[in-house]
Structure 1
Amino acid sequence: MKISEIKELTDKEIVERLQIEKESLVRLRMNHAVSPLDNPNKLRETKRNIARLETVLREKELNEKQN
């Protein structure tokens, strides 16, 4: 997911997507602990998506405080 796509989402949608990504990360970690994943880079992608979502959400919060 690109930052430009995330910025188009509403705050509520970002929070929902963030929760989905966090749940996905937990599942991926558990699956990886039991047996190696076919694509371990999926863990990295998921963590980066979480960071992007949190960053955009924080930017929106700061912009609202300034206005």
Structure 2
Amino acid sequence: MKNADIRALSIEDLKTQIKTEQASGQSLRFAHAISPLENPIRLKQSRKNVARLLTELTRRENEQANNTAN
């Protein structure tokens, strides 16, 4: 998922996408523990996607907090 795609999501969509990506990453880790994945880079990509989503969510929440404080 690209940053432009992430910025286009609403806060609710971000939260949903985070849960989905975390569940996907967990299932990838379990699958990799049982037998090696064909493409283990997917684990790294999944972690990075979660981090990108969480970063955008935090940025928006801070932005909202600053707007309401002013």
Q: Which runs of 4+ in 1 moved over 2 A?
A: none
Displacement of 1:7 in angstroms is 0.8
Greater Rg over alpha carbons, structure: 2
Residue-by-residue CA offset, 1:20-52 (whole Å, 9 max, x unaligned) = 000001100000000000000000000000000
**TM-score normalised by length of structure 1:** 0.98
Give 1:52's aligned residue.
52
Equivalent pairs: percent with the same residue? 36
Q: Distance in 2 between matches of 1:62 and 1:35?
A: 41
Query: Which structure 1 residue ranges, 5 or more long, are not aligned?
Result: none
Displacement of 1:3 in angstroms is 1.1
The count of corresponding residues between Structure 1 and Structure 2 is 67
Give 1:25's aligned residue.
25
